Chain A
Amino acid sequence: MPAALPRIHERPMPAIRDNIVEVRGLSKFYGGFQALKEIDLDFPEGELISLLGPSGCGKTTLLKMIAGLLEPSAGQVFVKGKAVTGPGPERAFVFQDFALMPWATVLRNVAFGLELRGTPKAERHETARRYIAEVGLAGFEERYPHELSGGMRQRVGLARALAVNADVLLMDEPFSAVDEQTRRKFQEDLLHLRRVQRKTFIFVTHSIEEAVYVSDRIVLLSRRPGRVSRIIEPDIPRDGTPDEIRRDRRYLDTVEDIWDGLKQFVD
């Protein structure tokens, strides 16, 4: 069946471009429960890679270990060739629940990463204003998070991650807490961002359509324990309008193919 599909590659370890993030033999136990088992993955620089899988497959755990927020039980993560021991300036995290400080304005929230680094106030505010404008929130600098909608809050979270100018953006289901229209708008913005920023995006999602729509590469995880079951490179034309892409044969076939693979996990 997959052979009939146009150009869907399945390669366990592609090595064409430089890998900015490498995951080697990564396992994670929570007590006696094994969340992830011996994960080996490469993340090529400049790509948008999705981690996709059924709930409980450990995709967020994997992302947090890449971020250095969780300690692996075994194995290692390398970022730009260096072993990860904790969070680092070359990685920035976008949180599912936004993680905005409710007592701080949008401006301070966006500048917070720079504030922690000790960047002078004028300089970090200038940078923050630029990224606030980039995510389309110009004019909201002095507002507080509770005055914003869910979608706008996530834009603040995104601007904060962009402001520290990291090479790798780690996004933990960033669009799951926003409504469908906002979500689609976000996906467009993400694709735009990927074109203008020379960054690597690692993106956790549980939505097949979302993963296929935005990704250069999809890592499909199975669960109990979480393992890499497939790596898919959707060959979707990027030059059409969103509607054309969503009706494109290759887009639909890829979604269907992944769904076939995931069906077995639905209980």
Chain B
Amino acid sequence: MAHISVPNNEVPGWIRWAATRDHTLLWRLLSLGLFAGAWEIAGQIPINYALPPFSQTFMAFVGMVLDGSLIGAYATTLQPLLIGIAISAVLGVSIGVLMGLRPMAEWLAAPVFIVMQAAPMAALIPLITFVYGIGMTSKVLAVCVLALPVIVLNCYKAVRNVNPSLVAMCRSFQGTRWQQVAKIVIPDASPLIFAGLRLGISAGFIGIVLAELLITPTGIGDLITYHRSVANYAEMYATVVSIIVFSAVTVGGLQRVELTLFRPEKREIA
């Protein structure tokens, strides 16, 4: 009992501070800090000769930013990635929405995309190289092949799950079919569509890294391959971690865009 009713001034200040306010950012940083700390210890033991400690990796990262190699590699990698994601997003959302709206489109396209999503599409990358060579086309295709199915299927499900009552409401006020799609279906489906886009973008990142590792080493894939081959493990890890962080930040950024553009009512919650 006694320790429940401790007066406030006996509780250490930092506990009160931590308990009374919302510190989402602090906890996130703490989680990252713990991860970096564990990595540092694992690297210092070392648990594996090829695992450099966090500090060394971070220094390698700074070095690669300063000598321009990392920036150059990103410039190369981003090109097919952006093209591929742009194509997948436009095509994927259009096909998915159409599949949700029209049974014909559903019957035509659904089986293809369901198989595509279930199959290990990375196995097709050597085939893509065989057909389209080692250039930009192959890499863009690698991104599309991984990103498209998940975007299409999410959009399709999103449109199918639109609140039927809202659709009836739109009809009862004599909304045209086009108004129904633009003002009710798309906004109501947008959370799921954006979830699909986020998954699609992370799949696109997988696609581009795979393409750069499997087709021809360029950009990020080249950096990873090169530093591994000359046993610069710190540089290799720095590259790998940088692409993971980059991907995570991009996907998080998209969520912000979604909330601002489509879901004004959820801005304060998120």
Q: Mark A59-98, 1 if CB is under 8 A from B, else 0.
A: 0000000011100000000000000001111011101010
Taking the complex as formed, is A144 at the interface, i.e. its CB lies under 8 A from any CB of chain B?
A: yes
Contact A93 B174 (CB under 8 A): no
Tell whether, in the assembled complex, residue B174 and residue A69 are in contact, meaning their CB atoms are under 8 Å apart.
no
Specify which chain B residues have a CB less than 8 angstroms from the CB of A117 in the assembled complex.
173-174
Q: Say yes or no: A95-B168 contact (C-beta < 8 A), given A103-B187, A146-B265.
A: yes
Interface membership of B7, Cβ < 8 A: no
Instruction: Let me know if A99 and B166 touch, CB within 8 A.
Output: yes
In the complex, what residues of B have CB within 8 A of residue A89's CB?
Answer: 174
Known: A112-B173, A117-B174. Is A101-B187 also a contact (CB below 8 A)?
yes
Residues of A within 8 A of B184 (CB): 101
Tell me whether B170 is interfacial, beta carbon within 8 Å.
Answer: yes
> Known interface pairs A101-B184, A146-B265. Does A67 touch B172 (Cβ–Cβ under 8 Å)?
yes
Range of interface residues on B (Cβ < 8 Å): 20 to 34
Chain B nearest CB, measured from A112 CB (Å): 7
Residues of chain B within 8 A (CB-CB) of A115 are 183
Would you call A103 and B264 a contact (CB within 8 A)?
A: yes
| A264–B7 alpha-carbon span in the complex (Å) | 67
- Asked if B263 is an interface residue, CB under 8 A from chain A, the answer is yes
- A144: chain B residues within 8 A (beta carbon): 264-265
How far apart sit A101 and B186, CA to CA, in the bound complex (Å)?
A: 12
Q: Cα distance A99–B176 when bound, in Å? A: 17
Residue A113 at the chain B interface, CB threshold 8 Å: yes
Q: Does B113 contact A (CB under 8 A)?
A: no
Q: Is A116 an interface residue, CB under 8 A from the partner? A: yes
Chain A residues near B165: list those with CB within 8 A: 95, 97, 99
Please indicate which of the listed interface residues B163, B166, B176, B190 has the most CB atoms of chain A within 10 Å of its own CB: B166
Chain A residue with Cβ nearest B265: A144
Q: Across the two chains, which residue of chain A brings its CB closest to B170?
A: A116
Chain A residues with CB under 8 Å of B171's CB are: 69, 86-87
CA distance A164 to B168 in the complex (A): 16
Smallest distance from the beta carbon of B225 to chain A beta carbons, Å? 46
Q: Give the CA-CA distance A80 to B171 in the complex, in Å.
A: 20
Tell me whether A99 and B169 are in contact in the complex, defined as CB-CB below 8 angstroms, given that A88-B174, A116-B179, A117-B174 are known contacts: yes
Tell me the smallest distance from the CB of A84 to a CB of chain B, in Å: 12
Give the chain B neighbours of A93 by CB distance below 8 A: 168-169, 172
Interface presence of B74 (CB below 8 A) = no
B263 x A164 contact (CB < 8 A):
no
Q: A99-B166, A101-B184, A101-B187 are in contact. Are A87 and B173 (CB under 8 A)?
A: yes
B217 within 8 A of A: no
Within 8 A of A (CB), among B215-270: 262-265
Residues of B with C-beta under 8 A to A146 = 265
Whole-angstrom distance between the Cβ of A197 and the nearest chain B Cβ:
18
Taken together as a complex, chains A and B put the C-alpha atoms of A91 and B173 apart, in Å, by: 8
CA distance in complex: A145, B168 (Å): 18
A102 contacts partner chain B, Cβ-Cβ < 8 Å: yes
Between A67, A95, A99, A115, the greatest number of chain B beta carbons within 10 A of the residue's beta carbon is seen for A99
Question: Do A95 and B169 touch (CB < 8 A)?
Answer: yes
CA–CA, A79 and B95, complex, Å: 40
Q: When A95-B165, A116-B179 are in contact, do A103 and B263 touch as well, CB less than 8 Å?
A: yes
How far in angstroms is the closest Cβ of chain B from A21?
A: 15
Chain B, range 163-214, C-beta contacts under 8 Å to A:
163, 165-166, 168-176, 179, 183-184, 187-188, 190
CB pair A164–B173 under 8 Å, yes or no, is yes
Asked if B172 and A69 make an inter-chain contact with CB atoms under 8 angstroms apart, the answer reads yes
**Which chain B positions have C-beta within 8 A of A145?**
265
Contacts of B262 in A (CB 8 A): 103
Q: Of A67, A68, A116, A147, which is in contact with the most chain B CB atoms at under 10 Å from its CB?
A: A116
Contacts of A87 in B (CB 8 A): 171-174
| Closest Cβ–Cβ distance, residue B188 to chain A (whole Å) | 8
Contact A99 B168 (CB under 8 A): yes
Please give me the residue from chain A that is nearest to B262 by CB atom.
Answer: A103
| A252-B138 Cα distance, complex, nearest whole Å | 80
The CA of A112 and the CA of B175, in the complex, are separated in Å by 10
Closest CB in chain A relative to B192 CB, distance in Å: 14
A-B contact pairs, 11 of them (CB 8 A): A86-B174, A93-B172, A99-B163, A99-B165, A99-B168, A99-B169, A103-B187, A116-B170, A116-B174, A116-B183, A144-B265
Identify the A interface with B (CB < 8 A): 67-69, 86-89, 91-93, 95, 97, 99, 101-103, 112-113, 115-117, 144-147, 164
12 additional contacts, CB 8 Å, given A87-B172, A87-B174, A99-B169?
A: A88-B174, A95-B168, A101-B166, A103-B188, A103-B262, A103-B265, A116-B170, A116-B175, A116-B176, A145-B265, A147-B265, A164-B173
